[in-house]
Amino acid sequence: MVALIGANGAGKTTVLRAISGLQRPRRGKIIYKDNDISDMEAHRLVKLGISHSPEGRQIFSRLTVLENLLIGAFIKNKQSNIKGDIDYIYSLFPVLKDREKLPAGALSGGEQQMLSIGRSLMSSPKLLLLDEPSLGLAPLLVEKIFEVIQTLKKIISLFCWWNKMPIKPWR
């Protein structure tokens, strides 16, 4: 887990947007798994395993919670276990299951953050970029969000061990 820390306006969001292909770097290169991905389009980067939960959540407020999650799986084919992935997200964030059919705009700020993280997990990323996941949340919810991030890291480490891969597979 890597944290990028800086004052307001330091450029944290810009770095994340450049990595996930939403902005082009003016200088320098972005190297991922030994490849230069500086000019790659965002949707292709998702296929390479990079997923971004943006600052301010940016969920689709008129679509339901379930529809938002399904959009996160846009790179997956019909044969893949999308329902299993959704059940997994619901196990991390049970409140999303309860609100499944509600428009995402009706969720509280914390619930929208859970949905944003859930949506970015739907593509089964290898590199998950979270921009200010605790912004504007009550302390209890912040704890919950960071608990889930810890759980995800443990699961990924276990997965890497099981597959005899190094913990940082992109290195």
Ligand X SMILES: Nc1ncnc2c1ncn2[C@@H]1O[C@H](COP(=O)(O)OP(=O)(O)OP(=O)(O)O)[C@@H](O)[C@H]1O
Give residues in contact with Mg ion (CB under 5 A).
12-13, 55
CB 151 within 8 A of CB 145: no
What sections of 80-162 are H helices per DSSP?
82-92, 94-98, 109-121, 139-162
Q: Is 8 in the site for ligand X (CB under 6 A)?
A: yes
- Please report how many Cα atoms fall inside a 13 Å half-sphere around the Cα of residue 48, on the Cβ side: 19
User: Considering the complex, what minimum distance in angstroms separates the CB of residue 79 from ligand X?
Assistant: 38
Q: Is 10 in the site for ligand X (CB under 6 A)?
A: yes
Quickly count: other Cβ atoms within 10 Å of residue 52's Cβ.
Answer: 24
User: Considering the complex, what minimum distance in angstroms separates the CB of residue 10 from Mg ion?
Assistant: 8
Choose the stretch contacting ligand X; rule: CB under 6 A; options: 11-19, 37-45, 72-80, 89-97.
11-19
**Out of 5, 9, 27, 101, the residue judged to bind ligand X by CB under 6 A:** 9
Long-range contacts of 149-154 (CB under 8 A, 24+ apart): 149/1, 151/92, 152/92, 152/121, 152/128, 153/1
User: Considering the complex, what minimum distance in angstroms separates the CB of residue 131 from Mg ion?
Assistant: 6
Rounded Cα distance between 123 and 108, Å, is 24
54 versus 125: smaller Cβ distance to ligand X: 54
**Out of 6, 56, 94, 105, the residue judged to bind ligand X by CB under 6 A:** 6
Q: Which of ligand X, Mg ion, none binds 94 (CB below 5-8 Å, type-dependent)? A: none
Q: Which of ligand X, Mg ion, none binds 109 (CB below 5-8 Å, type-dependent)? A: none
Rounded Cα distance between 32 and 43, Å, is 15
Residues that bind ligand X (CB under 6 A): 6, 8-14, 55
